[in-house]
Amino acid sequence: MATDPFELFNDWLAEARASEPNDPEAMALATANSEGRPSVRMVLLKGHGSGGFLFYTNEQSAKGDQLAANPQAALLFHWKSLRRQVRVEGAVERVSDADADAYFASRARDSQLGAWASDQSRPLDSRETFERRFEDMKHRFEGGDVPRPAHWGGYRVMPQRIEFWSDRPHRLHERRLFVGEGDSWTEGLLYP
Catalytic residues: 171
DSSP letter for each residue of 21-57: SS-TTEEEEEEE-TT--EEEEEEE--EEETTEEEEEE
Contact call for residues 46 and 13 (beta carbons, < 8 A): no
Beta bridge partners, 26, equal 44
Count of Cβ atoms closer than 10 Å to residue 26 Cβ: 16
Parallel, antiparallel or unpaired: strands 52-58 and 174-181: unpaired
Report the C-alpha gap between 175 and 167 in whole angstroms: 9
Contact call for residues 152 and 145 (beta carbons, < 8 A): no
